[in-house]
Structure 1
């Protein structure tokens, strides 16, 4: 293991205030990030917004993390931003309205960056959602690559009921995921969306009948992704995200440039050879 990887692994062992990060099976290159404030329905605090990007950055450096599952301890996935944290974010001692506004803007940008860290992580991130996923929780899962839930899960973009416009990514990411109409319906009403409706609009791709089956299904999904070429998985994620904001023609040009640099990899040679020899490929560790 390289020195950088050892340092990342050691820092992960030191733990986090609001998260639990584990690798359940050392033989399977899948790590789990658990929101770990169950007594508070995993409401996001200022510490959460510091812990999350740090955990993702460390896992991004580890070859033993080829896929990441974002889940939660306790009966609910996430109740949104902790209200006391929301008050402290908005607080300012400055009598200058412009200075106070600029300070608040900077604080919001920091929170946005923490959520965007999920999207920026080169490894695929799968959300496993149960119970309530509200407000900031929706911001969080919208930044994930794949979203799964159990039948008891429900979703709500509740900021409008707090006299706020959602500002951590839901209004930007949801239209691309569920369509403008569904995103507007959720954001302007704050209504609760049950699991099956969430699947029908594309917010989640898989609904499992129970929390236990959700955990098993997501574990199998993450394991399957972790067995694939890391080069291919990182490239696919990067191109998908970039192409989301481009025309088809621009997206095609981008992937052509990407593959011109990345296509002739050892993983490609190994994949072809493994298919010809009818065996599982042994991909590089990145």
Structure 2
């Protein structure tokens, strides 16, 4: 098992499953400056180097995350510039922060979230960029930004309404309310509820093992095509599926799948190839 500790995260990789845990429970796992740098570094390393076939993200302490750490807002004052120049710089900074969660959606392998306690503010942005979510019965979700006189800006609005009805997104955003776990399941934000974090993690890891046992090429194809279909017309998506399968339909992998079933053993599939990090 490969393990590594960062300022904001613990990372372990075992049986082709990468488990990323938020590890600042004393600070309610708020998202400080290190968080925004470490998360994309961790996820892109797993993705680019094909270190795992699925990523699970969970947390420690009382809450999954209380959202943005106030220290992120400190020290950004620039003197000698008018407000229009400062506004343009802020827009660029927001875009860089948004890219931190984009890496979850862009990763070739599925990203699964195991949630408990408060999932607040930036944490809602974060989980919206994942593939599947589960939570404990004590969990709640809040677009907290409205309550501190700002508008959520790191991914909640373009992504959350893909999973839940627009009316619920608007009610959460306009009021800053706490959405309870039972309602989150009812409207489709999470797949299931659990009494304890231990029970939830066991179930999520079971799903992760099922994913890891399948062909990585087929799984990444599913993620790519589902995400493409979400953002494009049916006709465009069907055409893209045809192009994908024309290029990457794998008869040897299928033969291995059938042989493994016949022999009643796990199939042995090749991992995804590492990606280039430079043009040449």
Give the TM-score normalised by the residue count of structure 2: 0.92
Corresponding residue for 1:182?
A: 168
Aligned pairs, how many? 271
Deviation at 1:209, TM superposition (A): 1.6
1:54 and 1:64, CA in 2 relative to 1: closer, same or farther beyond 3 A?
closer
Q: Does 1:51 align with 2:41?
A: no
Secondary structure of 1:57's match? helix
Aligned partners of 1:213, 1:92: CA distance in 2, in Å? 49
Match of 1:3 in 2: none
Q: Is 1:68 equivalent to 2:68 in the alignment?
A: no
- Alignment equivalent of 1:239, drawn from 181, 200, 225: 225
Aligned-partner Cα distance in 2 for 1:207–1:63: 31
Deviations 1:114-133 (A, max 9, x none): 01111111111100101100
Unpaired segments ≥5 residues, structure 2 = 273-280
Is the Cα–Cα contact under 8 Å of residues 213 and 266 in structure 2 kept in the other structure? no
**1:85-234 alignment, distance < 5 Å:** 85-88=72-75, 91-234=77-220
SS of the equivalent of 1:127 reads strand
- The aligned runs of 1:8-19 (5 Å cut-off) are 13=4, 15-19=5-9
CA RMSD in angstroms comes to 1.6
Deviation string 1:84-137 (CA, Å, 9 cap, x unpaired) is 213445x33342222211110111000000011111111111001011000100
CA offset at residue 64 of structure 1? 4.2
So what's the TM-score if we normalise by structure 1? 0.90
Structure 1 position 35 matched with structure 2 position 22: yes
Contact 1:79 1:137 in 2 (8 A): yes
Q: Deviations over 1:140-175 (max 9, x none)?
A: 000010001111111001111111111000011011
5+ residue gaps, structure 1: 1-8
Cα 1:247–1:152 change in 2 (3 A) is: same
CA drift at 1:220:
0.9
SS in 2 for 1:213: helix
Question: How far is 1:186 from its partner?
Answer: 1.1
Distance 1:277 1:148, change over 3 A: same
Distance, in Å, in 2 between the alignment partners of 1:265 and 1:97 is 60
Residues 147 and 176 of structure 2 are in contact (CA less than 8 Å); yes or no, is this contact kept in structure 1? yes
Query: CA offsets, 1:170-190, max 9 Å, x none?
Result: 011011110211111111111
Give the CA deviation at 1:63: 4.1
Displacement after TM superposition at 1:279 (Å): 3.4
* 56-65 or 124-133, larger mean C-alpha shift: 56-65
